[in-house]
Amino acid sequence: MIHRREEAAVAGRLEGKNTLITGAGSGLGRATALRFAREGARVACADLDPDAARSVAEEIGPAALALTADVTSLRDTEEMTRRAIAEFGHLDAVFANAGVAGTGTAADVTEEYWDRVIGINLKGVWLTGRAVLPHMVERGEGVIINQASMGGLVGIPGIFPYTAAKGGVIAMTRQMAVEYGPSGVRVNAICPGTIFTPLVARSRAERGASGADDAEANAAAARRFPLRRLGEVDDVASLALYLASDEANWVSGGIYPVDGGRAAM
């Protein structure tokens, strides 16, 4: 006879779960898609780049679906959600992860650039939730994980529009958790510190900083974190896995730094 704890370990922590991840073609989204799949989930991999979405879905195999979506478009996010539900039958968890870098200060960022960063990093998270919430409310259960940032918790020079958007995601997460908790929907946010994804590399390049392969710059950056190392994509994927799983079934409205202790300083 197999004990329940052993059975759960064998089955996988997301066994039988249907999930959707935006920005799944690279970085944190890709790592999380692969992790969810390893833990038994079916994964709808959505990305603005159709080749990137197809690549990660092919890496996962039959349990994955590749979708192309612009998260700043209500039509796209609704179609993305419709297709995922049509393929899987329902959605248990959605990770609103798609985002872009956003450099500049309050005095020099252009209106056009501000609109783009806010549009993807804040509006895109809202539209993803907006598209999936009616489905989850009707089912009486569901999980939404919003990608925020350490920059939404503390001031970081040179990335003003990015931190503004991520601060909005944090506030929005709390609001959604309060409004939709009575319908059985859990909503949480993850706030990563520095992890050298393509997004962070682009941000560094825009600010004229050293690249991700600069060992001296990386060592200096690591010293700013109490744990004295930079993050890795699996650090975020592991938390997303927990929040999407039944292990977190009484966890909602949480804002979770994954930053080596930086936000505590």
pLDDT value at position 70? Answer: 98
Instruction: Please classify residue 202 by burial: count the beta carbons closer than 10 Å to its beta carbon, then call 0-12 exposed, 13-18 middle and 19+ buried.
Output: middle
Choose the catalytic residue: 162, 180, 242, 256.
Answer: 162
Query: Which percentage of the chain shows pLDDT scores above 70?
Result: 89
pLDDT at 74 over 50: yes
CATH class name, domain 4-193+233-255: alpha beta
256 labelled catalytic: no
Domain ranges of the chain: 4-193+233-255
Per-residue pLDDT, averaged over 25-29, amounts to: 96
pLDDT at 9 over 50: no
**pTM of the full structure:** 0.91
pLDDT value at position 217? Answer: 77
**Position 209 confidence tier, pLDDT thresholds 50, 70, 90:** low
For residues 46 and 54, the answer to whether their CB atoms sit within 8 Å is no
φ, ψ dihedrals at 204, nearest 5°: -65, -40
Q: Check residues 58 and 8 and name the one with the higher pLDDT.
A: 58
